[in-house]
């Protein structure tokens, strides 16, 4: 490998060179200051550290305002705020507290029998209303409430009948569904069938004003209104 000699050896480098504690301040020195700087380099005085963010915001250190940094501690380092909880039994003991056996279980059933909720809502059974049904309908196998369906019907056919929606031909049937279910036709005006002495189709409630032509123009140009000012009378 051939290395040529510097043709201009005495020319100085371009730029500004900082000369002081170190000959040259490069990127390596700026990044690894702990390696290049001497261990006995002067640091921040102790009485000024509380003002510096680099000292207050150190990782794992409690941040304190410089105004209270040197105040005396009111509480110990392991002090916890809030109200401490009282000691209690574990969950398994609380659940098993109602587990009774032997005579204790028998005596507890006698006490619970006094309550109506214990008799009408027994554990593992449905709510009993204690209805006094007639004898001929007490047999649930032969007597059921409602109308029994004839075979199976498709839910799709019930929701979307093949013939379309049911339309009653009788006006009384339509009026009945309109009153009971509010079943109005699309665009149909709601009529409450009030017995008025007036015709609601022609009558208008409220105060009516005189119709004025070019009302917007008169409002914008009030000075041009003929009736705005009294007429001049020549004597």
Residue 226 CA to residue 139 CA, distance in Å, equals 94
State pLDDT tens for residues 141-197: 777 777 777 777 788 877 777 776 667 678 888 888 888 888 888 888 888 888 888
CA distance 124 to 131: 20
Residue 45 near residue 30 (C-beta atoms within 8 A): no
CA distance 109 to 223: 97
Enumerate the domain spans of the chain: 27-54, 91-130
At 100-145, the pLDDT tens digits run 778 888 888 888 888 888 888 887 888 877 788 777 777 767 777 7
């Amino acid at each position: 490998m051939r290395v040529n000699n510097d043709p201009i050896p005495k020319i100085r480098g371009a730029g500004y060179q900082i000369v002081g504690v170190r000959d040259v301040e490069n990127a390596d020195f700026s990044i690894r200051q702990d390696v290049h700087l001497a261990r006995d380099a002067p640091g921040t005085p102790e009485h000024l550290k509380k003002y510096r963010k680099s000292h207050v915001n150190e990782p794992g250190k409690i941040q304190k305002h410089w105004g209270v940094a040197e105040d005396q501690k009111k509480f110990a380092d392991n002090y916890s705020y809030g109200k401490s909880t009282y000691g209690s039994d574990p969950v398994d003991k609380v659940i098993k507290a109602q587990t009774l056996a032997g005579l204790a279980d028998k005596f507890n059933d006698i006490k619970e029998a006094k309550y109506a909720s214990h008799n009408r809502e027994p554990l593992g059974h449905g709510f009993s209303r204690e209805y006094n049904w007639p004898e001929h309908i007490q047999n649930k196998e032969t007597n059921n409430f409602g109308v029994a369906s004839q075979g199976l019907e498709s839910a799709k056919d019930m929701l979307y009948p093949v013939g379309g929606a049911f339309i009653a031909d009788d006006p009384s049937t339509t009026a009945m569904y309109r009153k009971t279910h509010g079943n109005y036709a699309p665009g149909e005006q709601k009529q409450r069938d009030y017995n008025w002495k007036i015709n609601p189709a022609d009558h208008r409630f409220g105060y009516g004003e005189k119709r004025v032509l070019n009302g917007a123009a008169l409002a914008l140009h009030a000075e041009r209104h003929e009736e705005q000012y009294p007429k001049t009378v020549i004597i």
